[in-house]
């Protein structure tokens, strides 16, 4: 994707849910935690509360760990499931394949066996395509399937789709890792619990940063027998900080009173509002179904350029003219409406030419 | 070291400078930064300000990067200097060797050629001892020397000692990495600038977390020609977060009005006060010179146990009866005095038996 | 590819040039070398003679090293060129991508940026497609282009094609690695010298094992400034044996009196004979141009099965019905003719149905 | 160790058992195997015969694999036993620590927790010293103990000593890897079977190259449940060659009629003869007990220099004046006697001064 233009006016960014500030309740929780001494490296009550609650919400019998960013969660999560020589099956569009600078190969020494996946979603059939070389020492041996929920294109696997993948994997000696950097948005869209989603994974991440936190992600290991190496790999992968209480405080605040769900619902609603508003605008079409906080739209190059003068967002596919518009927990209805008005205005200009 | 006892009363911890909360000015800076959107991954004004200032303070012609923790800084810093096959010379007591769960070997694939170093300090002679196998393909080939300033035993290299090491390294095709998790304490002790220290390294870290920050460390690359891989390795090593502005805000606040130096001076003074107070107490002796915020003392086992009932600290060497007492930016004179009173009282009890 | 059937009769294998025995001259050289003591690990006259001759034949100013197998040559060769964080651009069909069990990712920690390449051959345009994310820390950063000569489909880059790639790479800060497991076959086909080929690479391998040797490959580093880490990485990658004289003897024998070229010419001629003989057979067509010792043909599934009852060869693409027939230095005209007769006979059977 | 001097006369080398040529029976086996085609990568009868026999001789229920050199065997063997984050306990003098250029750290990403071990031999007590940090995420977590039999100093563990280590490991969740590059010499010295030794390991290597082969080592996995990743890791670690029949032929020949044992007995006897002959020579003393094919002796610097003018051997410890004299399967009594005569003559020269 091309670098986002930095507009001259401070309008709401549609560039990323990462551009948003931190939710006030989370800032408050950090401030509240800032009193007295606390044992370092996670043996503190804030971390304890957050991880217990994560286990409860996901129904995990294993372990929940807090980490520092999405790549950290992905690499650690895959590392817990991968044998020393094993490979990962994932969608070509998966974040671990396209956006982490090759961290999986570098840190895990694993090969990503990628699959072109419509809408960013794997299926048992697509996974089966990468199993041909099993048992032959010349071929990379997949043992983990990585699904992203919601996907990099803003789409969501239905619970039935996840169940099918999980069943297929269980029947084929494959484990399931779920990249849940935007798992909250999927739960909001599917109107399901985290446990409904987590039951279809062996290890999953649960993102906080894109959903209102400052910088915290959770990794949830569903089964006790998969947890043994988790603390050590987290340390080796540099995902443990000394003052863990501030990660614990962030995650606790996000989990309290379903703030995570309210934030995600709001962001999804804003994306929905944006998508609905595009309906009547000529020359703008949706590239993918809108099922979370992302709107992928296709429009003319000069139209994109006109909009980027005032609004911050990424062009996803230069050639196809596809842009990505992200909403966030703090996107307001008026931000969407103002953006829509500008899109429509530009569209009229071009049409009238 | 053994796990710190968690005392029943909330007295000041002497367990680690990491047990302290965050300095109010840094919490304030985080809160102040929490407004409006900001481009993610470091292209924000807070990060820009912090890294510019770090370059200015250290005199670096290369680059300053913010990272998430001490191990992250060490691994990234070494990674910038190490060829694919090369090894690191360090003190046996170095944090990278003893306290990072083997991260250097795991992530960098490098061998640590350790040297038993009195007081945790390397010398040209000690370094030279590990150069014997150079040019022979059967032996690990050292290319980087890692020094810790201040050391894991709370001692400091003098500027002259650093200069000697740096000269020796320059003359022997070795690069110098300086683990500066507590560089501020060294600058305070030596009454020198960061540039005075940085000139003797090729890459160095500058710790924030142990010195009042929530969770931020800087990596400074002195020469432009060593910076090319830095952003990519930082990403691969999972040391980049999306909402970097909050790292930038922390580091900026730490650098403003020499807060970093004032914090370090205070912590050092508290350690000095503690060490001085031990002078008259029978059965307690210093294990290392006190030159930063750490006091290593030797005392009887039962004495240690008695103190751990009320105070949190680590036993460093069970057999030798050596404990580590750390102060912090927020340790108060009365905390030290109360601790000293308890140490003295226990000492009297045992002596009177 | 599917496992080769093991036929009931000991007919010549068309399964792989690796199925052949060792050329008598090479066995003789091993036997001749088996006298007296020799310094281990390569400081012997046989190794010295082989590597000097390799440098002379390729025009290399750098270094030639003997290694143990093709993967060893590829991994070491790439390792010499790759910075710690860098990625490789290669054809999707490249051996390093499809047939080495993920060794490149595992040992080098590098990402392979693959390109679907018609006939297995890269072009500047195909390479350019993978340069989009350069300079963006989220994307893998390619620094090496790996070409295979002759390719996995038995095709050859012309010298002009190689020159274009090399020029493009030089202009785009990319280095060229040439996987020459079958470089001899390419030289024979193009009727050019090894130096003609080597000038278009920074590092290249020169295969011995598929061309009549028992087990030896050479790695040639064209420039002196790229050689520094070679001996150490070779050792770390377990490509150095103690009794190197027997590798040296093999390679020396292969280079003497152009045995390498004569072997390759013969194998190529047998593949040509086989391809020419297919011309008149109904239902059998060539899948790729025949430009080395490989014939890829497309035929009906039942036809393949009938042939595999008596002949050993691999099915390359089950779905498309593409098989790979390899010749070797010791394939005889009568082997080819007998095979052709069987292919024709089977073809007639099916057609007559 | 210093580079061996290359003497002007072709006398028998005492530099290494690797300096010897290949036993005629093994050359013959290679020649005999050189007929007709054979399936590549180990599915050939020679490899099958060798690996079956290795399983029989060691009593292994798991798997035997042929690899290319000692480092390959060690790295693969450790890789089979090590979890992704785990560390290895070994003697400071272990080959994996001192002579493999850091391959274990580079390829396995593991930390070697070394122990200064008298005579190169670990004990349960020495192993226990490295278990202090278990369960603490900051410390490297050992899961494998690597013993070398016979050791780098030519000493042997008794079967009782091995049993004690194995029992201790079993009771402490540690696995045992046995570096058996010279296992034959240990079996010969202890007058025991390979099974007697193998029962005390989880995975072990069995060296061929130092014992008369051209270049082949075996890795034996004792238990079936430890074999799953073996073929894949062997491929990734570049220890598989296409024409495996020539490895199989070498190993088969070595195992036939106990050639391995006869070779080792002879080499041991020659070392014994050398050691015994040193008894009366003034100024020369043994540095370690002589229990295999190595004699470590201590003598004056000028004495060493005088001998190196005519004889090839390594100085092991420059400072202490310790040299290593290795015998081999083809060292003759007259070689030893001539060497002893020269040692005695030199000794007289110095004494008479």
CA angle A314, A320, A322 (to 5 degrees): 30
Query: Can you name the residues that pair with C65 across neighbouring β-strands?
Result: C219
- pLDDT for residue C334: 97
DSSP one-letter code for A150: S
Residue numbers in D near C37 (CB within 8 A): 10, 12-13, 15, 19-21, 312
Asked if residue A352 has pLDDT above 80, the reply is no
Average pLDDT over residues A153-163: 98
Give C161 to chain D, closest Cα distance, Å.
Answer: 30
- For residue C299, what pLDDT band results from cuts at 50, 70 and 90? very high
DSSP one-letter code for C351: H
* pLDDT top residue among A170 and A348: A170
Cα C153 to its chain centre, rounded Å, is 10
3-state secondary structure C178-196: EECCCHHHHHHHHCCCHHH
CA nearest to C298, candidates C290, C310, C286, C288 = C286
- pLDDT for residue A4: 44
- For residue A81, what pLDDT band results from cuts at 50, 70 and 90? very high
Report CB contact under 8 Å: A242, B69. Answer: yes
Question: Measured between CB atoms, does D231 come within 8 Å of chain A?
Answer: yes
Which of C41, C141, C232 is closest, CB to CB, to B85? C232
Give A229 to chain D, closest Cα distance, Å.
Answer: 7
Q: What's the mean per-residue pLDDT of chain A?
A: 95
CA nearest to C81, candidates C241, C198, C222, C199 = C222
- pLDDT for residue C198: 98
Q: What's the mean per-residue pLDDT of chain D?
A: 95
pLDDT in tens, C119-138: 999 999 999 999 999 999 99
Label residue B341 exposed, middle or buried (CB < 10 Å: 0-12, 13-18, 19+): exposed
Asked if residue D264 has pLDDT above 80, the reply is yes
Average pLDDT over residues D143-166: 98
Asked if residue D277 has pLDDT above 90, the reply is yes
Residue B211, CA distances (Å) to A159, B180, C348, D152 in order: 47, 11, 85, 48
Question: Measured between CB atoms, does B140 come within 8 Å of chain D?
Answer: yes
Quote the tokens at residue A161: 């789709």
Report CB contact under 8 Å: D137, A240. Answer: yes
Average pLDDT over residues A150-162: 98
Other CB atoms within a 10 A radius of the CB of residue D6 amount to 11
DSSP one-letter code for C12: P
- pLDDT for residue C108: 98
Residue numbers in C near D36 (CB within 8 A): 10, 21
Q: Does the CA dihedral B106-B107-B111-B116 come out positive or negative?
A: negative
pLDDT in tens, C197-215: 999 999 999 999 999 999 9
Instruction: Say how far apart CA B343 and CA C75 lie, in whole Å.
Output: 60
Report CB contact under 8 Å: B101, A236. Answer: yes
Instruction: Say how far apart CA B287 and CA B302 lie, in whole Å.
Output: 18
CA nearest to D88, candidates D180, D178, D197 = D178
pLDDT in tens, B61-107: 999 999 999 999 999 999 999 999 999 999 999 999 999 999 999 99
B and D: number of Cβ contacts within 8 A: 56
Residue numbers in C near A144 (CB within 8 A): none
B and C: number of Cβ contacts within 8 A: 42
Beta strands in chain D (DSSP E): 63-67, 86-91, 112-115, 141-148, 175-179, 203-207, 217-221, 285-286, 294-298, 314-317, 322-326
Quote the tokens at residue A191: 């109107």
pLDDT in tens, A242-256: 999 999 999 999 999
- pLDDT for residue A3: 42
Which of B86, B138, B232 is closest, CB to CB, to C137? B232
pLDDT in tens, B174-205: 999 999 999 999 999 999 999 999 999 999 99
DSSP one-letter code for A3: P
Helix pair angle (B24-33, B245-255), 10° resolution: 140
The 3-state DSSP class for residue C315 equals strand
- Kindly give, in sequence order, each residue whose CB lies less than 8 Å from that of residue D25, ignoring residues fewer than 6 positions away: D253, D256, D259
CA nearest to D71, candidates B87, C239, C230 = C239
Q: What is the ipTM, given to two decimal places?
A: 0.96
Quote the tokens at residue A271: 């994306």
Report CB contact under 8 Å: A19, B34. Answer: no
Contacts 24+ apart (CB under 8 A), A271-277: A271/A154, A271/A295, A271/A325, A271/A326, A271/A327, A273/A333, A273/A336, A273/A337, A274/A325, A274/A327, A274/A336, A274/A339, A274/A340, A277/A336, A277/A337, A277/A340
Residue numbers in C near B240 (CB within 8 A): 137
| CB A242 within 8 Å of CB B68 | no
Residue numbers in C near B230 (CB within 8 A): none
- Low-confidence residues in chain B, pLDDT < 50: 1-8
| CB D84 within 8 Å of CB A79 | yes
Asked if residue C1 has pLDDT above 60, the reply is no
Residue numbers in D near B105 (CB within 8 A): 105, 109-111, 140
End-to-end CA distance of chain D: 29
- For residue D1, what pLDDT band results from cuts at 50, 70 and 90? very low
| CB D227 within 8 Å of CB D221 | yes
Residue numbers in C near D35 (CB within 8 A): 21
A and B: number of Cβ contacts within 8 A: 158
Average pLDDT over residues C221-225: 98
Quote the tokens at residue D30: 């290679």
Give C177 to chain A, closest Cα distance, Å.
Answer: 20
Report CB contact under 8 Å: A229, D137. Answer: no
Report CB contact under 8 Å: D40, C16. Answer: yes
Percent of chain B surpassing pLDDT 90: 94
DSSP one-letter code for D104: I
Quote the tokens at residue A247: 């990660």
- pLDDT for residue D6: 47
Report CB contact under 8 Å: B137, C41. Answer: yes
Quote the tokens at residue B197: 């220290």
- pLDDT for residue A350: 75
Asked if residue C6 has pLDDT above 70, the reply is no
Residue numbers in B near D109 (CB within 8 A): 105-107, 109
Asked if residue D8 has pLDDT above 60, the reply is no
Question: Measured between CB atoms, does C103 come within 8 Å of chain D?
Answer: yes
Question: Measured between CB atoms, does C134 come within 8 Å of chain A?
Answer: no
Q: Which of C111, C131, C316, C320 to mutate to test the interface with A (most CBs of A within 10 A)?
A: C111
Question: Measured between CB atoms, does B254 come within 8 Å of chain A?
Answer: no
Residue numbers in A near B72 (CB within 8 A): 238
Report CB contact under 8 Å: B68, A71. Answer: no
The 3-state DSSP class for residue A252 equals helix
Residue numbers in D near B99 (CB within 8 A): 138-139
Which of B98, B100, B140 is closest, CB to CB, to D101? B140
Which of A141, A233, A236 is closest, CB to CB, to D232? A141
Residue D281, CA distances (Å) to A144, D249, D343, D345 in order: 66, 44, 8, 9
Report CB contact under 8 Å: B229, C83. Answer: yes
Other CB atoms within a 10 A radius of the CB of residue D60 amount to 24
- For residue D296, what pLDDT band results from cuts at 50, 70 and 90? very high
| Chains touching B, CB cut-off 8 Å, 3+ pairs | A, C, D
3-state secondary structure chain B: CCCCCCCCCCCCCCCCCCCCCCCHHHHHHHHHHCCCCCCCCCCCHHHHHHHHHHHHHHCCCCEEEEECCHHHHHHHHHHHHCCCCEEEEEECCCHHHHCCCCHHHHHHCCCEEEECCHHHCCCHHHHHCCCCCCCCCCCCEEEEEEEECCCCCCCCCCHHHHHHHHHHHHHCCCEEEEECCCHHHHHHHHCCCHHHHHCCCCEEEEECHHHCCCCCEEEEECCHHHCCCHHHHHHHCCCCCCCCHHHHHHHHHHHHHHHHHHHHHHHHHHHHHHHHHHCCCCCCEECCCCCCCEEEEECCHHHHHHHHCCCCCEEEECCCCEEEEECCCCCCHHHHHHHHHHHHHHHHHHHHC
Give C296 to chain B, closest Cα distance, Å.
Answer: 39
* pLDDT top residue among D4 and D340: D340
Asked if residue A204 has pLDDT above 80, the reply is yes
- pLDDT for residue A193: 98
From chain A residues 312-351, the ones with a CB under 8 A of any chain B CB are: 312
- pLDDT for residue B2: 41
Q: HSE, CB side, 13 Å, CA atoms: give it for residue D54.
A: 31
The owner of tokens 């072997």 is C263
- pLDDT for residue D5: 45
Q: Which of C109, C132, C237 to mutate to test the interface with A (most CBs of A within 10 A)?
A: C109
The 3-state DSSP class for residue A9 equals coil
The owner of tokens 């920690």 is C109
CA nearest to B89, candidates B122, B46, B65 = B122
- In this structure, the strands spanning D217-221 and D63-67 are antiparallel
Quote the tokens at residue B266: 């205070």
Quote the tokens at residue B223: 């020469």
| CB D308 within 8 Å of CB D295 | no
Enter the pTM of the model. Answer: 0.96
Q: Which helix (H) or strand (E) holds C230?
A: helix C230-236
CA nearest to C152, candidates C19, C324, C336 = C324
């Amino acid at each position: 994707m091309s670098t986002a233009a930095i507009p001259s006016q401070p309008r709401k960014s549609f560039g990323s849910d990462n551009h948003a500030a931190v939710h006030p309740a989370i800032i408050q929780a950090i401030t509240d935690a800032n009193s007295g001494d606390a044992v370092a490296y996670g043996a503190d009550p804030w971390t304890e509360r957050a991880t217990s609650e994560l286990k409860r919400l996901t129904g995990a019998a294993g372990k929940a760990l807090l980490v520092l960013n999405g790549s950290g969660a992905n690499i650690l999560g895959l590392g817990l499931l991968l044998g020393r020589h094993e490979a990962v099956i994932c969608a070509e569009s998966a974040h671990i394949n396209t956006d982490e600078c090759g961290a999986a190969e570098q840190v895990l020494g694993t090969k990503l066996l990628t699959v072109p996946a419509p809408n960013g979603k794997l299926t048992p059939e697509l996974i089966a395509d990468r199993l041909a070389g099993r048992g032959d020492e010349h071929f990379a041996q997949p043992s983990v399937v990585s699904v992203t929920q919601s996907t990099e294109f803003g789409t969501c696997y239905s619970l039935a789709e996840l169940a099918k993948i999980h069943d297929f994997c269980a029947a084929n000696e494959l484990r399931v890792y779920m990249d849940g950097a935007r798992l909250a948005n999927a739960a909001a869209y599917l109107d399901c619990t985290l446990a409904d989603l987590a039951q279809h994974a062996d290890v999953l991440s649960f993102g906080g940063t894109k959903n209102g936190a400052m910088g915290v992600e959770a990794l949830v290991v569903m089964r006790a027998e998969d947890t043994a190496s988790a603390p050590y790999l987290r340390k080796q992968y540099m995902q443990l900080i000394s003052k863990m209480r501030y990660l614990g405080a962030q995650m606790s605040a996000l989990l309290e009173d379903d703030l995570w769900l309210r934030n995600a619902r709001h962001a999804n609603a804003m994306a929905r509002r944006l998508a609905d508003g595009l309906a009547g605008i000529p020359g703008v079409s949706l590239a993918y179904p809108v099922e979370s906080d992302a709107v992928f739209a296709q429009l003319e190059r000069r139209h994109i350029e006109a909009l980027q003068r005032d609004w911050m967002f990424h062009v996803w596919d230069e050639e196809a003219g596809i842009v990505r518009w992200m909403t966030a927990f703090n996107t307001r209805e008026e931000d969407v409406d103002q953006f829509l008005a500008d899109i429509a205005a530009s569209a009229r200009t071009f049409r009238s030419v």
